[in-house]
Amino acid sequence: MSLAQFLAVIRRRHWLLTMLTLLGVTGGVTLSLLATPLYRAEAQMFVSVDGGSTASDLSQGGSFSESRVASYAKLSTSTAVLRAAAREAGVEAAPSELERAVRTTTSADTVIMSITATQPDPEKAAALADAIAAQTIELVGDIEKTDALGESLVKLSVYQKAEVPTAPASPRVPVDIAVGALIGLALGIGSALLRETMDTKVRSVDQVASASGKSVLAEIPVSDDIATIALTSSGGQFSSTAEAYRQLRTHLTFTNLDGDCQVIVVTSSLAGEGKSTTAANLALMLAQNGHRTLLVDADLRRPSVADILGIESSVGLSTVLAHQVELDDAIQVVGEGGLRVLTSGQVPPNPSELLSSRQMQLVVQTASVSFDYVIIDAPPALPVTDPAVLGASASGVLFVASVDGRVKMGDIGRAVSKVDAVGARVLGVVANRVRVGHRPESYSYYATARPQSESPRRARRAAVEGRR
């Protein structure tokens, strides 16, 4: 996973990171408040050797002392020493508890030994550290009796007694909070990566390309504005959405399609991915560019082109296929570019039969004579076979894939394979509802462009009026 992909995962799962980090902070605070305060006292000891006045004797004695320090440190935490020291300091604890409460450390190449005792009572902590030091001195004195007089050549003495601590050594609230936050953040990152691995929903343009195996021809930004149509209005033509559709139009214009007329079927894997809006916008952009364009609403189960454009839908494709009206009489003109639209007409009881009929082929052939582009808004590819049937006789099929998590990668792959299986040519994929700024090539530059004399409210009103 590249850094860019990792950051994209973090952006998509930021709520998980935030939640677990806050839980970690809460846990750190809770543990700090519930924990029993512990006080730590330290006594320091010094190891020396008696005898010898020459430099050589002193050097040998120093080396001997250094070699003994580690052994004495182990003796200081022995069970016998700890039990005797606990009795002397008035500390009631099991040997295992004493072992956890006492720590002896030594410094490299020195003869200094530090004994640290931790207790809930600060006075007992200091008393225990001093008692351990005293018991260790007594034990070493018994062991190291080597001269003729029975005196130990090694001297172990306390050069700094333990002081009664005034502040607890733990809990350390700031440290506990920081540790809790780091643990929560680490768990959040791990959970985000795990969920990303297990989550097959499409949430990025790269996932669209990977799932479909096709080129992404355009990235349509996400928009809260229902009037993303009517891009020919003076406000809409400077939007990031308009620029994305211009890119799509450019790709299709320079795509090498057979025939004088390009018949393009627009579909998606599932309903609700924005195929109808994409088909309508694409048709408007082609018409605006001077191409003779016909938009056909062939989604006879859930037609929406008429609602998007704000036009009448009672007469349309279904009535033409039923021989109730001629094609020319059913076509309406929309927008400044002279876009021709054939709405769905009344919803028929047998949409699949109508779309696969000989009459449908004749309608497309007839339209091909009069138009440069015929854009067909087809039903979703997975629920029905209509897009595959229409795509088999079209110049190409354009897939629309939403990247807001409503479709899975497997859905896109199966839908594309379903269309490929009938020999239809898949031109590419349009990634819809892409968040502007999540990719370096997004159209945020164009999103800010607008004629200075036009207010946003007026631009929106113009866009809505352009739909009707």
Task: Give me the DSSP letters along 188-235.
Answer: HHHHHHHHHHH--B--SHHHHHHHH-S-EEEEEEP-S-S----TTSTT
Helices H / strands E in the chain, number of each: 19, 12
Q: State the burial class of residue 107 (Cβ atoms within 10 Å of its Cβ: 0-12, 13-18, 19+).
A: exposed
Task: Note the CATH number of domain 205-467.
Answer: 3.40.50.300
pLDDT at 383: 93
| 233 token code pair | 């209005």
* pLDDT band at 276; cut points 50, 70, 90: very high
204 neighbors 403 (Cβ within 8 angstroms): yes
pLDDT at 326: 94
Helix (H) or strand (E) holding 157: strand 154-160
What is the fold of 39-160?
Alpha-Beta Plaits (3.30.70)
- Domain residue spans in the chain? 3-35+171-198, 39-160, 205-467
Q: Is 229 left (phi over 0), alpha (psi -120 to 50) or beta?
A: beta
Which residues, 6+ apart, have CB-to-CB distance to 445 below 8 Å? none
452 neighbors 419 (Cβ within 8 angstroms): no
For 47-66, how does the pLDDT look when each residue is reduced to its tens digit (9 = 90+)? 876 655 444 444 444 555 66
pTM above 0.95, yes or no: no
- Give the number of other CB atoms < 10 A from CB of residue 113: 24
Distance CA(444)–CA(460), nearest Å, equals 18
Q: Which residue's entry shows tokens 């989550």?
A: 199
CA distance to 27, 36, 176, 181, per residue, from 32 (Å) = 8, 8, 7, 13
pLDDT at 236: 52
pLDDT at 63: 59
406 neighbors 293 (Cβ within 8 angstroms): no
pLDDT, mean over the chain: 82
Distance CA(328)–CA(325), nearest Å, equals 9
| DSSP class of 237 | G
53-62 contacts at long range (C-beta below 8 A, 24 or more positions apart):
62/111
| DSSP class of 258 | S
User: Is the pLDDT assigned to residue 197 strictly greater than 70?
Assistant: yes
The reply to whether 205-467 shares the fold of 39-160 is no
